[in-house]
Structure 1
């Protein structure tokens, strides 16, 4: 089969929800006194938006083929990422074949290595890669999961991330992950409050429902170890992203020191096969959690997952809506998925990247069957105002 060549690449920015799910209005649970690395400063403790978690906004990448077919994807990175896509990365796609995703990824990564490797640049690269897979699926008239080898199960099952795991249980999810509200700077009183919140939630949900804690890079090794042992008394399934993503040595020691039966998880803010190789070879965690919109896209997630599979480590991607669903359903070492509860009070299921995507699937009773729409099966909402800050 011969495919039309790539004609044009475009990058847009949009504000208000979307892939930058922290870009919410006031009163949302996702911005209510959650422990962060900035919690050591009292003035930045109450709100993550106060220190700029939402400054970038959502990046939208469109890739148009010569026949007019358009693939697209969304991730974070906003205007700086749009500049990188338009001014640097586009040259490696325009005039190329959509099937050359391995070569295109290699050229994007190594051409930006002198100022990239992780973070913003890899976010931009990931958005391009995902848009490329969406375009390939549309040209082949197949869903992305079919391009990845097909389903290994008929439906996805989810745990929910929110402030209210008790409500998530009623909505049919298999578990609930809570944000940690108090970091080391709040001392012993804060630690006691964290444990009290967990104990109260355990009482609400009963003994058999999974409970996890998302620590969002906010702890040191001593505090994380103490928290893990105290939380173990209340049946905590895992402790997530407790330390800085650069502290591989700390994660290695936390995994050694954690109570038997408790899982240590991380990787949301890790990138590429080389970053995850460090986590895996140093035995830093039981589950890796790459975000497909941040780690290098589908092309790189395939490699990351293979590394983990060879070591018997599960891959449970960080919540990234359809972009992770199409991958998870094709991998045996990804037995369930994450769903971010984006309703302000975490009391109902709404599309994760609302309002940006049309036809974005959501779980019902904690489960979801993917349809056979081509690509990732979603469309951009024309009511969302896209801004193209740069051209090339």
Structure 2
């Protein structure tokens, strides 16, 4: 049986319709006074949209095989990513066998080294890679997790990220991760409010439920150290992404500074095996949190995870729904995973990429059976009612 080749690559952006949870028109906890690197400026403190977290929008890539099968995936890269995919990366795909995923990744990465390595370029490479895995699974009529070696456990366990860990406990999750609301620019008063919020949630969830703080690159080592020690008295399990992603030295210092037993986690905005090698070899963290839609896709996440395993570190990907679920279920050093509560008040479990995707599975009582991931590819469909725009079609 001949292996299909790739005959077309198409890059689309979304226009409205709630396709990006960072682009909310009304109230949403994810955009409500969250500590950020821009919070040092009062005019950009209340809303992340105010400084442009939503400007890129969603990039969706379709890859069509010679037998007519179409694989697709999405990421955050917008029109910039669409240009990169259509005008640059597509040359490494057209005419290739759909099984040449490793070679295609290597050529995309090396061809973009002079202007890439991280950020939007890696997002674009990631989404192409994920679309290739989706395509291969559909052609072979197998889920992506089967292509990766199959499940090592019968179900996934989840913690929930949102402003209501108390509700997350009621919904069956193993823990709740809060967004940090006040950064260094708000001084000691802000620090007190952060601890008060944590104390309030601890009183509601009891002593055994995990509570974590997501600091979204907003702190310095001094503030993060003070926060860690005060939060330790309230039983904080881990402190996440406190510093800018490239401050490996700061992370190493912070890990030395935190109270014994508290975990330091990071990696949401890191990319490739080289970035994670720095985190691991410099002793920066206990858990790495790559986002498969940003770090280089499944092909690169395989390497990142193997490297972490050799260092005795856990890999708990940043919430990216089916694109990480299929990976986590196949790895012993990924014992649980994240779901971001996309409901505006974090009070119910919704699919992460609704309404863009259909058939996206969600956990029930904080768990998801491996069998929920048994459809071919990543097991999701594109919602035909979503408005798509193809800004840079190839000539």
When normalised by structure 2's length, the TM-score is: 0.98
- Aligned-residue offset at 1:372: 1.5
For 2:318, the equivalent position in structure 1 comes to: 318
In structure 2, the CA distance between the partners of 1:92 and 1:158, relative to structure 1 (3 Å rule), is same
CA contact (8 A) 2:326 2:373 kept: no
CA contact (8 A) 1:13 1:79 kept: yes
Partner of 2:388: helix, strand, or coil?
Answer: coil
For 1:224, the equivalent position in structure 2 comes to: 224
- Aligned-residue offset at 1:24: 1.8
Runs of 4+ in structure 1 deviating by more than 6 angstroms, as ranges, are none
For 1:22, the equivalent position in structure 2 comes to: 22
CA contact (8 A) 2:19 2:355 kept: no
For 1:381, the equivalent position in structure 2 comes to: 383
Q: How many residues align?
A: 392
Separation in 2, partners of 1:253, 1:9: 45
- Aligned-residue offset at 1:16: 4.1
CA contact (8 A) 1:184 1:223 kept: yes
1:1-392 correspondence to structure 2 within 5 Å: 1-16=1-16, 20-369=20-369, 370-392=372-394
In structure 2, the CA distance between the partners of 1:125 and 1:19, relative to structure 1 (3 Å rule), is farther
Separation in 1, partners of 2:26, 2:138: 38
- Of 362-371 and 48-57, deviating more is 362-371
- Of 152-161 and 366-375, deviating more is 366-375
Partner of 1:10: helix, strand, or coil?
Answer: strand
CA contact (8 A) 2:70 2:135 kept: yes
CA contact (8 A) 1:16 1:57 kept: no
Q: Deviations over 1:125-146 (max 9, x none)?
A: 0000000000000011000000
When normalised by structure 1's length, the TM-score is: 0.99
Separation in 1, partners of 2:20, 2:97: 30
CA contact (8 A) 1:15 1:23 kept: no
CA contact (8 A) 2:18 2:24 kept: no
Partner of 1:90: helix, strand, or coil?
Answer: helix
Q: Deviations over 1:192-215 (max 9, x none)?
A: 000000001000100000000000
- Of 99-108 and 10-19, deviating more is 10-19
Aligned CA RMSD, in angstroms, stands at 0.9
In structure 2, the CA distance between the partners of 1:337 and 1:357, relative to structure 1 (3 Å rule), is same
Instruction: Give unmatched runs, 5+ long, in structure 1.
Output: none
